[in-house]
Amino acid sequence: MLVHTPAHSQMAGTLSYTSEHALPPGTLVRVPLGQRELLGVVWEQQPISDDTPPMDPSKLRPVAAVLDALAPLSVHWRTLIHFAASYYQRSAGEVALAALPPQLRDISSLQLARKLKKKAKSQLKAQAAPATDATPPQDIPELVALTPEQTRAIGQFDDNPGPFLLFGATGSGKTEVFMRCAADVLASSDSSQVLVMVPEINLTPQLEERFKARFCAQYGLEAVVSMHSGLTPAQRLASWLAAHSGNARIVLGTRMAVFASMPHLALIVVDEEHDPSYKSQDGARYSARDLAVYRGKLEGAKVLLGSATPSLESWYHSRPAAEGGRYMRLEMPSRVGANAILPLVRRVDMNHQPKGSVISPPLLDAIGQRITRGEQSMVFLNRRGYAPVLSCADCDWKSNCPHCSAFRVFHKIDRTLRCHHCGFTERVPRACPDCGSLDIAPVGRGTERLEEQLALLLSSMSRPDGSAVRIARIDADTTKLKGSLESQLAQVHSGEVDVLVGTQMIAKGHDFRRITLVAAINPDGALFSSDFRSPERLFGLLMQAAGRAGRDASNTSRSEMWVQTFHPTHPLYETLKQHDYPAFAASQLVERQQAGMPPFSFQALVRADARTQEAAQAFLNSASSACDGLAELAPWREHITLYPAVPMSIQRVANVERAQMLLESPSRAALQRFLNAWQPTLHAMRSQPQCKGLLRWAIDVDPLLI
């Protein structure tokens, strides 16, 4: 039996219970554990070794209830869970139970049976109801004409097994290819299912709307469902049940949807496959993109990864098969429409602009020209709040968070200092807390301050109809309320907004038809980061942001991407100007190979949280030192490089000190075997005197943030 137990717990394996009736693997049950009653999954019996002590039947507790109204979870689903738990070094129970809807953990077998019965009745009633004029057969939308590039990509998809990497420019019609491929798969069988994954919740509504418009008229109103954490528990359960029963033919979701129970899965689409949001940073730190590829191979389903800026790992895997490539690359380099061309990239050398200027005069003039023509502009700054720090000019006090090694961000709209790591919030002080000076001022800028400054700079301008210029801001602060993001996007699409200000939330995935100018403010910070993936992330983000401009082919004015930088001759900006992702990827892969970085090596991080930084690092260094004397690690030790423990980039969060240790190997298999054999040592180290104060530890395989 699997129940939810954390990886660092000594109860991380399967647990044994008694049952009056034989239960097939995959059956959902409720079982007692201590004073609680938990949801569990019946699992295959584990092999018993010779040194395992005999089990006392009198000490086994009985299964409390069986959720027999549900069909058992399939062998493919259980294999996926087992692989994910093994590869990412977590307990299978933790992965399995986290993949199930939360409401399923609290519902009784009787309540579940009633819910399913009610659902079945409503479906029969809908099927028996006579057709109405509201949903006639002709409501199926007329298909748009495909470009030659789209036709070629779909033909290659139909004729080959995959996996596929659809490398298409922004605006090249990748979503239409996804829908055509999905339609072919659904038409091939009466029961086949399609999983479509997006990186963020805010991209789900517009995609769901398009898929429902295309498929619900043919397959029914419940053929398309969503799965993401933004749904209510009842909605998540309803979507999961629809997928598990096979009634949902298309499931749209974020990374958690990769574990959806879909018994007839035939196609997995991973949109914006490069996005780091597909890699979980909490709990089981899995990569949904990589698990999608594994699941496709496991279940015989085709896998289609799509991006205008693929991850370097996927790009490397899609090299020609003769060179060792594992994916088939489908290319669509052109935008849809005769007049639809990629935006012209303009670099503004901020060294030659007025000192302290936020928006350079040439960029301000370009935005003004768009406003007078009735076009829209988008200004992108990947930092929310008014200013990243509040500072005293007299004593150099700064708005540090008392619980984290980070600054509290100044939010002017509610006059608060807010830590974006632990959530600690205070009102802005009237005077400096240290010296009492009234001269405290914001340093730097976020989207809130940028919005304010743009409003001031554009106050003398007017729209073509004579009304005032309208500026909107979309970031995590303005989209907290349910439905706020949808209403704000609707205003942008309808043309009510002239200038859109926001973070990376608006820089990818959205189809803004009226935007003809995109500007990136101060992107230089990522050029000199210690993280070797920063150039890749910056280039992808800028190209995705540029792709929001000029998507309407009927607009004859040339769209533009403006980049304000102090390093205009940097090679990254040179390749961005040419929209030449292959050249950028080639140069980055050469650097990665020379430095022995992924995808030419494989990495894992061991992270430790403790009450003191000394205890966190002592745990990691002690575990590292113990490796050399263990015979079970000897076969793999020579293939592994263990680096010394260091504090994390933000070493203290919510009064918890954090440290990490990097492991690197040229062999994925050697790294996995080493980690598996090392687990008992990590468990044993918790009881060492020098590790007193250790709270928890975790392994992160294939980490994105180092």
Cβ(659)–Cβ(651) below 8 Å: yes
CA distance 292 to 305: 9
Tokens representing 701?
Answer: 């395989």
Q: By CB neighbour count within 10 A (0-12 exposed, 13-18 middle, 19+ buried), where does 546 fall?
A: buried
How does strand 602-610 pair with strand 694-701?
antiparallel
- DSSP code, position 592: H
How does strand 164-168 pair with strand 440-443?
unpaired
Kindly list the distances between the CA atom of residue 126 and the CA atoms of 344, 393, 576, in Å, as whole numbers in the listed order. Answer: 52, 69, 53
What is the layout of strands, in order, in the sheet containing 344-349?
Answer: 344-349, 560-565, 515-521, 376-380, 499-502, 471-474
Q: Say which residue the tokens 């979507």 belong to.
A: 239
Could you tell me where the beta strands, DSSP code E, fall in 323-415? Answer: 328-332, 344-349, 376-380, 389-392, 409-411
Q: Report H helices in 628-687.
A: 634-637, 668-685
Residue-level length of the chain: 706
Kindly list the distances between the CA atom of residue 250 and the CA atoms of 38, 100, 526, in Å, as whole numbers in the listed order. Answer: 30, 18, 38
Cβ(115)–Cβ(147) below 8 Å: no
Measured over the CA atoms of residue 318, residue 322, residue 324 and residue 326, the dihedral's sign is positive
627 is in an annotated binding site: no
691 is in an annotated binding site: no
45 CB-side CA count, 13 A: 8
CA distance 375 to 499: 9
424 CB-side CA count, 13 A: 15
Report CA Rg, the chain: 27
Tokens representing 1?
Answer: 């039996």
Q: Cβ–Cβ contacts within 10 Å for residue 570, how many?
A: 16
Cβ(688)–Cβ(622) below 8 Å: yes
What lies within 8 Å, CB to CB, of 46 at 6+ separation is: 13, 14
CA distance 275 to 140: 33
Kindly list the distances between the CA atom of residue 595 and the CA atoms of 62, 601, 612, 670, in Å, as whole numbers in the listed order. Answer: 56, 10, 33, 20
CA distance 332 to 552: 18
Cα dihedral value 111, 112, 118, 122, nearest 10: 150
- DSSP code, position 57: G
Cβ(507)–Cβ(457) below 8 Å: no
- DSSP code, position 408: P
Cβ(329)–Cβ(294) below 8 Å: no
CA distance 203 to 197: 10
Cβ(240)–Cβ(476) below 8 Å: no
181 is in an annotated binding site: no
216 is in an annotated binding site: no
Annotated binding site: 392, 395, 401, 404, 419, 422, 432, 435
Annotated binding site for Zn(2+): 392, 395, 401, 404, 419, 422, 432, 435
